[in-house]
Structure 1
Amino acid sequence: MTAVAEAVEPASPAIQGRSPLMLALRRLRRDKVAMVSLGVILLIVLMAVFAPVFAHITGHPPNEQYRDIGLTADGLPKGPNSTFWLGTDDLGRDILVRIAYGARISLLVGVVATAITVAIGVVLGLAAGFLGGLVDTVLARLVDVVLSVPFLLVAIALVSVTGPSLSITVLVIGFFSWASVARIVRGQVLSLREREFVEAARSLGSSDTRIMFVDILPNVLAPVIVYTTLLVPVVIVTQATLSFLGLGLPPPTADWGGMISASQNYYTTAWWFIFFPGLALLVTTLAFNLFGDGVRDAFDPRADRL
């Protein structure tokens, strides 16, 4: 009778474990501020992707100068109206369309420069922390040198030799940002290289390269992801700063930093000229920072309440 009862009794469902990544994503979804920030970021991305749609709807290409209808009789920018929704700049160009195209530059530089920075920093940080010895000493001194070099002076020198361009901007930002990533990764690797799973991999004959990229790298991805989300707004602001100083993209390319720089002489007579590009930069960096804070809290094991 007992055997029959056990046969009829339904099997209990298997308990499914949840990985740290799944737990972090679950915490992140419950963070309302992070989710709102992610929504804002997606809207900015859509604005950048569909920038030509803005130009088509308004009928104003980004670099077209409307000196007859886009400027006042005194040659000043016109304020927001039915023709130019966010007003015009000092050359009679549509600010709305230029902000949309400027979002492309900011996001492109932010993503590409951050990817280069993280890739270099992770590889060198892994090598320094795992190999140790002379390699660690040389790379640690290299990190100190990079962090001590004056960023703006080198940027000015490079631009004076090569001229302003998108590639120079990305390379300069990437070169001066990887050292912080490498230092973070190195510290994480130093605490992991003597763990049991690394010793087990060594006993099985795994090479140093396999141990670094297969066994150790997945365990340092959490702080790298957090730092990456916080690095993107820093890169965007840095690119805008270079453009503001005349070291970014050459005109007439639509760029938020360049637009803010061109509006300096008009902030008392044409507030919209500096307000809307500055607002776009502020909203973008604030959204990335708040989302990065949410990602950091989600990956923090001390915040685990599940």
Structure 2
Amino acid sequence: MTTALDLVEVGTEAPAIEGRSPFVLALRRLRRDKVAMISLAVIVLIVLMAIFAPVFAAITGHPPNEQYRQIGLTPDGLPRGPNSTFWLGTDDLGRDVLVRIAYGARVSLLVGVIATAITVAIGVVLGLAAGFLGGIVDTVLARLIDVVLSVPFLLVAIALVSVTGPSLTVTVLVIGFFSWASVARIVRGQVLSLREREFVEAARSLGAGDTRIMFVDVLPNVLAPVIVYTTLLIPVVIVTQATLSFLGLGLPPPTADWGGMISESQNYYTTAWWFIMFPGLALLITTLAFNLFGDGVRDAFDPRADRS
């Protein structure tokens, strides 16, 4: 059997040992997680459905806001069930439920991604500043975090919408502003345990400023929990947006929106089950897929954590 010593003796170099970063190891563990991979496939399908929503409209020949009162409603004025013309049935105005679900996916994913990006950006910056700078900065930001976490979110959202009117911009800003505090608290806790480490002292001894140390030396070491929390925050944001729309605080009609569709179907759940079931299933499958994928990402970055 040839050993590394034998290779050296005959003048042949031993094969180099390739180092693997924590992110590479986490990615490999994630690929072996079947539940996470299935969830990722479902997420990709939902994203494709949102991107190609106009294709659904073209195939069926039904624009999302077109009302087919002659063929989309029964003689009693009730929604029609799934059939060859309307694959998932119609709503109370004779509109195609399938097409509106596809367009509603656009709204949910757009709000989920943009609001989460705003939340994480604000939370990471303020959490880094609070944890690294300490002193009066940490005291002020920590109290600000406590105040934001204690504000009744829905009441403030209702007040803002009553003044500005429902819109996508207001929804994204409200969700982003009231969600960053939890991210900041997580980042602050991580930074507090890192700011006295040797690599921080070495960077400071080389003349690096606080800003460079925070974003170049400390930030990469807190990215793992931030990535995990981001994947788990997206479904929370999607449900929050659907809740606001259900309460009439989301996008104004006739924009297709899962929360709005569920709200409109309340009076028809005994006579038109498809009207409430299919938008509800779309919301359930989306949030479940993101949650299961987020659990897989968490376990991949922290393999010592127990699975629940």
Task: Name the amino acid aligned to 1:237.
Answer: V
Distance 1:281 1:192 in 2: 39
Distance 1:216 1:280 in 2: 39
Q: Superposed, which structure 2 residues align to 1:204-283 within 5 Å? A: 204-283=206-285
1:77 and 2:79 correspond: yes
Distance 1:296 1:81 in 2: 42
2:144 match: secondary structure: helix
Question: Which one of 37, 59, 62 corresponds to residue 60 of structure 1?
Answer: 62
The residue that corresponds to 1:191 in the other structure is 193
1:11 match: secondary structure: coil
The residue that corresponds to 1:117 in the other structure is 119
Task: Name the amino acid aligned to 1:223.
Answer: P
Q: How many residues are paired up?
A: 301
Task: Name the amino acid aligned to 2:19.
Answer: G
Deviations, residues 201-244 of structure 1 (Å, cap 9, x unaligned): 00000000000000000000000000000000000000000000
1:28 match: secondary structure: helix
Residues 303, 242 of structure 1: CA spacing in aligned structure 2 closer, same or farther, 3 A cutoff?
A: closer
The residue that corresponds to 1:37 in the other structure is 39
Distance 1:272 1:10 in 2: 71
Question: Which one of 17, 21, 28 corresponds to residue 19 of structure 2?
Answer: 17
Task: Name the amino acid aligned to 1:64.
Answer: E
1:11 Cα shift? 2.0
Q: Superposed, which structure 2 residues align to 1:89-108 within 5 Å? A: 89-108=91-110
Distance 1:270 1:303 in 2: 45
Deviations, residues 92-115 of structure 1 (Å, cap 9, x unaligned): 000000000000000000000000
Distance 2:285 2:247 in 1: 21
Distance 1:7 1:228 in 2: 52
Task: Name the amino acid aligned to 1:247.
Answer: L
1:6 Cα shift? 5.6
1:12 Cα shift? 1.7
Residues 8, 171 of structure 1: CA spacing in aligned structure 2 closer, same or farther, 3 A cutoff?
A: same
Moved more, 155-164 or 295-304: 295-304
Distance 1:287 1:132 in 2: 38
TM-score, L = length of structure 2: 0.96
The residue that corresponds to 1:290 in the other structure is 292
Task: Name the amino acid aligned to 2:62.
Answer: H
Task: Name the amino acid aligned to 1:26.
Answer: R
Identity, in percent, stands at: 89
Deviations, residues 223-270 of structure 1 (Å, cap 9, x unaligned): 000000000000000000000000000000000000000000000000
The residue that corresponds to 2:3 in the other structure is none
TM-score, L = length of structure 1: 0.97
Deviations, residues 92-147 of structure 1 (Å, cap 9, x unaligned): 00000000000000000000000000000000000000000000000000001000
On the 8 A contact 2:8/2:14 being kept in 1, the answer is: no
Distance 2:24 2:150 in 1: 39
Question: Which one of 158, 161, 184 corresponds to residue 159 of structure 1?
Answer: 161
1:302 match: secondary structure: coil
1:191 match: secondary structure: helix
Gapped runs of 5+ residues in structure 1?
Answer: none
Task: Name the amino acid aligned to 2:156.
Answer: V
The residue that corresponds to 2:177 in the other structure is 175
Distance 2:29 2:46 in 1: 24
Distance 2:78 2:252 in 1: 23
1:88 match: secondary structure: coil
Distance 1:6 1:285 in 2: 56
Residues 227, 6 of structure 1: CA spacing in aligned structure 2 closer, same or farther, 3 A cutoff?
A: closer
2:92 match: secondary structure: coil
